[in-house]
Chains A and B, each alone.
Chain A
Amino acid sequence: DGGITQSPKYLFRKEGQNVTLSCEQNLNHDAMYWYRQDPGQGLRLIYYSQIVNDFQKGDIAEGYSVSREKKESFPLTVTSAQKNPTAFYLCASSIRAKQFFGPGTRLTVL
């Protein structure tokens, strides 16, 4: 797990702003994922990427965007179109089905 880092740990956003959450991994994993976790709920998939320069929408992609220009990096942008972005965001990477998570970013809209 130490091979996956997310920054920042806490992020505050004003209404109407776009913000970008960072996710980096040095595990040489091909697949990377972004999840959103709301209090008392499970993990919901936002986007995932199996290889560089390719990514797919998950179940709740509206209001979010991603890029995968490098194998190690999978940043998530929360746009102003996301009406309720306050949540805990988890990045993950996987190899041979085993998925490992980063420490998370807690985003709060002011």
Chain B
Amino acid sequence: GENVEQHPSTLSVQEGDSAVIKCTYSDSASNYFPWYKQELGKRPQLIIDIRSNVGEKKDQRIAVTLNKTAKHFSLHITETQPEDSAVYFCAATGYNFNKFYFGSGTKLNVKP
């Protein structure tokens, strides 16, 4: 089955700096890669996603890049703000979207 690894497990940045979270996956059949943000005690919220036919996708301050050859994808947050502080999860799924495989999460702390 698929195996998704996520790094780093914790990330601390100064407000206004950029943050990058990286994930790798093992199954070359995976073709959809969402990112979720989870605030303490809350449900995960989909913040951005990318399909395997696209190399990069941007939505305001967040962007995701995908390298299919290397089987890794990354989340980029620019101009970080304290409200960006949360746990971020990457995930991968295949053509049938039957099962989503999640990374172990990155706790992002943005210091004001």
Chain A contacts to B: CB under 8 angstroms: 1, 31, 33, 40-45, 48, 50, 56, 58, 90, 94, 96-104
Contact = CB atoms under 8 A, between A and B. Distances in A.
Interface of B: 6, 32, 34, 42-46, 49, 89, 91, 93, 97-100, 102-105
Contact of B104 (A1, A41, A97, A100): A41
Q: Is the interface of A mostly helix, strand, loop or mixed?
A: strand
Contacts, number: 50
12 contacts: A1-B45, A42-B89, A42-B105, A45-B100, A48-B99, A56-B98, A58-B99, A97-B32, A97-B93, A99-B100, A101-B45, A103-B43
A86 to B, nearest CB: 15
Most chain A beta-carbon contacts within 10 A, residue among B43, B103, B104:
B43
A104 B43 contact: yes
A22 to B, nearest CB: 15
A42 B101 CA distance: 9
